[in-house]
Amino acid sequence: MIKMKKLTLGYKKEKILNDIDLKVKKGEFIGIIGTSGAGKSTLLMSVTGGIKVFDGKFEVLDYDLNNIKKKNLIKLREQIGVIFQGYNLVDRLSVLDNVVSGMLKDIPLSRAILKLYKDKEIKKAKEYMDIVDITKHSLKRCDELSGGQRQRVAIARALAAEPKIILADEPVSALDPKSAKKVMGILKKVNEVYGVTVIINLHHLEYAKEYCDRIIGVNNGSVVFDDNSDQLTDKLVEKIYTVNN
């Protein structure tokens, strides 16, 4: 699904990530950890083709990101769901409307504005609301929900676009431990039920260890750990979180 070979990534003239070698297979559940500023968000968002490639080879879903045409970039992004710490929902709309909006590429704008959804669209939305356990709030406005509930709506909306990859940038950082665990559990379930590849940036090491099969540790622009979570010893954790400056 994702191939990075000797990859250097960054912004304008500044190189942030150096010499990155990574391969991600279909259905993996990966956590990226590291200190603030290490390059986790840069690494994660590079998968959507939004980060400058300075050097190396970079393929995502068989698209060559070294020289991808705009048309293909749009096609690539349609297959990637992105979830942020800040939910990015339309607050004044209902849970259902937000979830259906994830299918917008299949629904003409005229119908979407009038909220004229077809039965099969409602049925699909219900399936995704069920999996994130938010169906009982489907007609509530999103600004009436708690942070954890909002993040679950964001996951359902991402699913509605039937993505091959879900990228989540610190999806649980703003949540209390109980809500955070519920959201992590739902991401895991989504990964298992739909086989969608999930990559999550995490501030909490415990969540990475508990939920992720594979952990990628980033330190100062380099990948310093990439293995099964059970291989992560205290010594390696120290290596990931050491700040040299």
67 CB neighbour count, 10 Å cutoff: 8
Which of the residues 9 through 28 are near ligand ATP (CB under 6 A)? 11, 14, 16
| Binding partner selected for residue 147 from Mg ion, ligand ATP, none, CB under the kind-specific 5 to 8 Å limit | none
Whichever of 15 and 26 has its CB closer to ligand ATP, that residue is 15
Q: Residues in the chain, how many?
A: 245
Binding site for Mg ion (CB under 5 A): 40-41
| Binding partner selected for residue 152 from Mg ion, ligand ATP, none, CB under the kind-specific 5 to 8 Å limit | none
173 CB neighbour count, 10 Å cutoff: 15
Could you tell me the sign of the dihedral formed by the alpha carbons of 80, 12, 89, 179, in that order? Answer: positive
The footprint of ligand ATP on this chain (CB under 6 A) covers a number of residues equal to 11
- CA atoms of 105 and 61, how far apart (whole Å): 19
Whichever of 87 and 128 has its CB closer to Mg ion, that residue is 87
Site string for ligand ATP, 37-56 (x = CB under 6 A): xxxxxx--------------
| Binding partner selected for residue 124 from ligand ATP, Mg ion, none, CB under the kind-specific 5 to 8 Å limit | none
Residues 6+ apart with CB under 8 A from 172: 151, 179, 180, 183, 184, 202, 204, 207
Binding site for ligand ATP (CB under 6 A): 11, 14, 16, 34, 36-42
